[in-house]
């Protein structure tokens, strides 16, 4: 796997950043390399929002929220309010798993938000806090894996199962979430993601006018401990999907790991590159294409696949 030496190395201390690596893989399968999003943005002139007609797309800013992280979420929302320009007052969707079920909890949160940002923003005719929506998610563990921490022995017991649900949500389920059905682009923010200075362009406009599918912050790689089995899974997938293998073969940036056939390299020690997606912009339609759905379908079947995983050294990798 080739990672440009200039690629930022983020301290990805949290485990199983599967969400971003799976996205990376999806996109590696789908698209040839695009230069990082930010390199293209400087060419775009600042957005002019005076009396612009409705754009031919819809957008949303999304978070996965929890009450325990309400303070940092408020900070993040305040930064969106102040620094993110927009041609339309797109909704801000706070996905949650029950923390905001009660209307008083929602009202309290919004009241605190209003207090924090000081009333109506100047940039839209709709108050910022009026754009906030709460959307409940029902998280269920996949069939085919043990459902207790003790039996499952997850790589990071302290973050089981929430973090793992989060990964499954952002890597597969989100593309088919009913609330996002008619949304063209979403911008994901984590509760600890912040805009630090004004953005001089509307990112959704940029995605649209430049016909982009994905915008991201950087490329990094996870500790191999959290991606065990992934290379073999990919290898199996490519074997059973020649059209995918053909695309991988043709890619200038994608490489199977070298040196794994002679026994020197255990694939489980080889890191997998992925997008660092605490901030990302996604064109949903791209992830709903049949060939991507097929990949996502295989991903969610993975617990069963694990049963038939083979020897740690796979000779087919000596390409
Ligand atoms: N509701 C809910 N939200 C969660 C849970 N775990 C993580 N999140 C949220 O999901 C988003 C992503 O989680 P992070 O902990 O930032 O995971 P990450 O981006 O892979 O890790 P970092 O690189 O350290 O940021 C954040 O907005 C979290 O607040 C959970 O168990 N429940
Ligand atoms: C912004 O757009 C409006 C309407 O299209 C136009 O009249 C105006 O001149 C534009 N302003 C700038 C600074 O480009
Ligand atoms: C909105 O903008 C006007 C001037 O353009 C300014 O006087 C006013 O204080 C602003 N209001 C807020 C809430 O920022
Ligand atoms: C991809 O490349 C490998 C190694 O050159 C080759 O064995 C394989 O047949 C190729 N696959 C396809 C689908 O072209
Ligand atoms: Mg994060």
CB of 124 shorter than 6 A to ligand 3:
no
Give a yes or no: residue 155 inside a domain: yes
Of all protein residues, the one whose alpha carbon is nearest to atom 2 of ligand 4 is 249
Protein residues whose CB sits closer than 6 Å to any atom of ligand 2: 48, 50-51
pLDDT along the chain (319 residues), means of 10: 37 36 40 39 50 86 97 97 89 97 96 84 68 96 86 90 94 96 98 96 96 94 90 92 95 83 80 91 97 93 53 30
Q: Is residue 244 part of a domain?
A: no
Q: What pLDDT shows up at residue 264?
A: 74
Number of domains in the chain: 1
CATH number at residue 138: 3.90.550.10
Q: Looking at ligand 3, which residue's alpha carbon is closest to its atom 8? A: 122
- What is the pLDDT, as a whole number, of residue 263? 66
pLDDT of residue 204: 96
Which residues are 135's β-sheet partners? 95
> What pLDDT sits at residue 121?
52
122 lines ligand 3 (CB under 6 A): yes
User: Which residues are CB-contacts of 187 (< 8 A; sequence separation ≥ 6)?
Assistant: 59, 60, 61, 62, 203, 204, 279, 280, 281
In a domain, 156, yes or no: yes
Parallel/antiparallel/unpaired status of strands 132-136 and 214-221: unpaired
User: In degrees, to the nearest 5, what angle opens at C-alpha 71 toward C-alphas 70 and 77?
Assistant: 85
Does a structural domain hold residue 88?
yes
User: In the sheet that 132-136 helps form, which strands lie side by side, from edge to edge?
Assistant: 132-136, 92-96, 59-64, 185-189, 273-283, 214-221
The pTM of this model reads 0.78
Give pLDDT, residue 72. 98
Q: Give the pLDDT score at 120.
A: 55
Q: 35: domain range? A: 18-39+55-224+273-289
Query: CA distances (Å), 144 to each of 141, 159, 199, 235, 306, in order?
Result: 9, 20, 45, 22, 10
Q: Is residue 256 part of a domain?
A: no
The residues near 13 (Cβ < 8 Å, ≥ 6 apart) are: none
The answer to whether residue 7 is domain-embedded is: no
Q: Which ligand is nearest to the CA of 49?
A: 2
How many angstroms separate the alpha carbon of residue 40 from the centre of ligand 3? Answer: 32
In a domain, 72, yes or no: yes
- What pLDDT is attached to residue 94? 98
Q: Of the residues 116, 122, 125, which should be mutated to test ligand 3's pocket, given the most ligand atoms within 8 Å of the CB? A: 122
* Integer Cα distance of 60 and 232 in angstroms: 36
Output the pLDDT for position 126: 62
Judge whether 117 lies within some domain. Answer: yes
pLDDT score for 54: 84
HSE at residue 85, side-chain half, CA atoms within 13 A, is: 16
Using H for helix, E for strand and C for coil, what is the string for the chain? CCCCCCCCCCCCCCCCCHHHHHHHHHHHHHCCCCCCHHHHHCCCCCCCCCCCCCCCCCEEEEEECCHHHHHHHHHHHHHHHHHCCCCCCCCEEEEECCCCCCHHHHHHHHHHHHHHHCCCCCCCCCCHHHHEEEEECCCCCCCCCCCCHHHHCCCCHHHCCHHHHHHHHHHCHHHHCHHHCCCCEEEEECCCCCCCCCCCCCHHHHHHHCCCCEEEEEEEECCHHHCCCHHHHHHHHHHHCHHHHHHHHHCCCCCCCCCCCCCCCCHHHCCCEEEEEEEEEEEHHHHCCHHHHHHHHHHHCHHHHHHHCCCCCCHHHCC
Which pLDDT does position 185 carry in this prediction? Answer: 98
């Amino acid at each position: 796997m080739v990672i440009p030496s200039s690629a930022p190395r983020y301290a990805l201390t949290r485990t199983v950043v599967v969400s971003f690596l799976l996205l990376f893989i999806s996109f590696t399968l789908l698209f040839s390399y695009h230069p990082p999003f930010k390199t293209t943005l400087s060419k775009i002139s600042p957005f002019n929002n005076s009396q612009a007609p409705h754009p031919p797309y819809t957008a949303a800013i999304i978070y996965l929220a929890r009450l325990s992280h309400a303070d940092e979420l408020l900070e993040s929302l305040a930064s969106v309010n102040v620094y993110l320009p927009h041609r339309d007052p797109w909704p801000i969707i706070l996905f949650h798993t029950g923390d905001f079920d009660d209307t008083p909890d929602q009202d309290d949160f919004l009241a605190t938000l209003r207090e924090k940002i000081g009333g109506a923003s100047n940039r839209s005719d709709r108050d910022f806090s009026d754009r906030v929506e709460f959307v409940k998610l029902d998280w269920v563990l996949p069939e085919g894996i043990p459902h207790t921490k003790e039996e499952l022995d997850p790589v990071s017991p302290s973050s089981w199962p929430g973090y793992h649900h989060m990964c499954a949500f952002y890597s597969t389920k989100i593309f088919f979430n009913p609330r996002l059905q008619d949304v063209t682009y979403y911008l994901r923010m984590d509760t600890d993601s912040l805009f630090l200075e004004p953005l001089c362009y509307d990112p959704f406009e940029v995605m649209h006018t430049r016909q982009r599918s994905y915008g991201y912050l950087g490329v990094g790689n996870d500790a191999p401990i959290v991606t065990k089995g992934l290379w073999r899974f990919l290898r199996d997938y490519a074997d059973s999907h020649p059209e995918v293998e053909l695309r991988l073969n043709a890619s200038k940036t994608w490489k199977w790991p070298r040196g794994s056939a002679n026994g020197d390299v255990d694939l489980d020690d080889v890191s997998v590159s992925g997008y660092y997606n605490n901030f990302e912009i996604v064109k949903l339609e791209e992830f709903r294409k049949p060939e991507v759905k097929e990949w996502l379908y295989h991903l969610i079947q993975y617990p069963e696949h694990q049963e038939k995983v083979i020897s740690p050294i796979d000779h087919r990798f000596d390409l």
